[in-house]
Amino acid sequence: MKTNLKNSKISIINKGKAKVFMFILVLTSILWLLIELSKISISTATFAVKYENIPLGKLMQSKPPSEIKIALKAPGFLLLKFKLKNQKIKLNLKNFVKTDSNYYLLPNQQITYLNAQLRGEIEVISVLNDTIFVELGSSKSKKVPVKPSLDLKFKLGYNLINTLKINPDSVVITGSQKFVDSLKEIETTSIKLYDIYKNINVDVALKLPSKKYNLIVSADKVNIIGEVDKFTEGRFTIPVLIVNKPIDIKINTFPKEIEVIYQAGLSNFNKITENSFSVVYDYEEYKIDTLRKYLTPIIQHKSEFISSIRVYPSQIEFLIQK
């Protein structure tokens, strides 16, 4: 019994010594780490770079490098801060070098400028990106048309009276010459309108270029207007008219009259007369191909109130008498 009690006391003493040893070991490690972190050392860190002082009248034509690596001299605990999280730093574009059409920066010529941005005991030793190419160009403004992206489906018997009106129908884009020159048009966001039977009047946002291009657009949306009406069918019977016929030639046509079938909106239907359109047949068709025995109708003009025209018959036969 006494032996067991003695062994138990020894075990408790050993465990106590082990805990003391572990405490001393951890404390020593922490002290060592703090001493090491307080020492001045050199290490590299990655910085998010911002370019400033772009020359007057110039713009970035493409995105330059967004990060640079810098060798720093500082106490270890400060270096650790830069290791754990990328910090921001500025490069001055006033100090660019130009050769022909190329522009580049030599960051190691801006060490003083870089050091002025860092606080405390941190010192910039060198920038590992020794040359940074930047593409600078002129600013330019350009007017481009707006292209609507619409999916329109009308209720049976309904349609547009005339073409859609877009206001504004074009926008002015200002930005880097390289990007502005590449733009031919600017689209609207997609919009779907189904079962339409009333006038259209909607505001539609434009698909603006990415913000990274730093463009200025004169408008961010457009208004689209369309007059919608119920359409009905009308028809006129008119004589066949042949143009470009030589004076000394007589032509008999079969038939001598044609039927013109048209569609127009109800609101303008009574405005349509025989003078609202002109349908002719051209003798030149025969001169091009003397073997042909028929002529096809040509619609020379039609009223803006007429949406579509069909001619019956679609061809006429003819006989030439000299």
CB 208 within 8 A of CB 217: yes
Give the pLDDT score at 39.
60
**The two three-digit tokens of residue 265, written as one number:** 């909106």
CATH 2.170.120.30 for the 232-321 domain, yes or no: yes
Give the pLDDT score at 53.
85
Instruction: Reduce the secondary structure of 40-73 to three states and give it as a string.
Output: EEEEEEEEEEEEECCCCCEEECCCCCCEEEEEEE
The arithmetic mean of pLDDT across residues 11-28, rounded, is 56
Name the residue type at position 32: W
CA distance 119 to 75: 12
CA distance 174 to 136: 15
7 pLDDT higher than 60 = no
CB 193 within 8 A of CB 152: yes
Q: Using one digit for the tens of pLDDT, what is the confidence trace for 51-89?
A: 888 777 777 777 788 888 988 887 766 777 777 777 888
9 pLDDT higher than 60 = no
CB 67 within 8 A of CB 102: no
CA distance 147 to 168: 11
Give the pLDDT score at 31.
47
CA distance 218 to 148: 17
CATH 2.40.160.20 for the 138-226 domain, yes or no: no
Q: How many C-beta atoms lie closer than 10 Å to residue 80's C-beta?
A: 13
Element (H, E) at 89: strand 87-92
Give the pLDDT score at 293.
87
Nearest to 224 by CA among 246, 188, 200, 257: 200
Vertex 260: Cα angle to 256 and 265 (nearest 5): 165
Nearest to 259 by CA among 275, 243, 240: 240
Least confident piece of the model among 37-46, 87-96, 196-205 = 37-46
273 pLDDT higher than 90 = yes
Vertex 53: Cα angle to 48 and 56 (nearest 5): 140
Name the residue type at position 197: Y
Q: How many C-beta atoms lie closer than 10 Å to residue 93's C-beta?
A: 18
Domain residue ranges of the chain, discontinuous segments joined by +: 39-134, 138-226, 232-321
Same fold, 138-226 and 232-321: yes
pTM over 0.85: no
Vertex 261: Cα angle to 255 and 266 (nearest 5): 160
**Highest-pLDDT range among 28-37, 91-100, 173-182:** 173-182
CA distance 25 to 35: 15
Mean pLDDT of the chain: 84
CA distance 243 to 306: 23
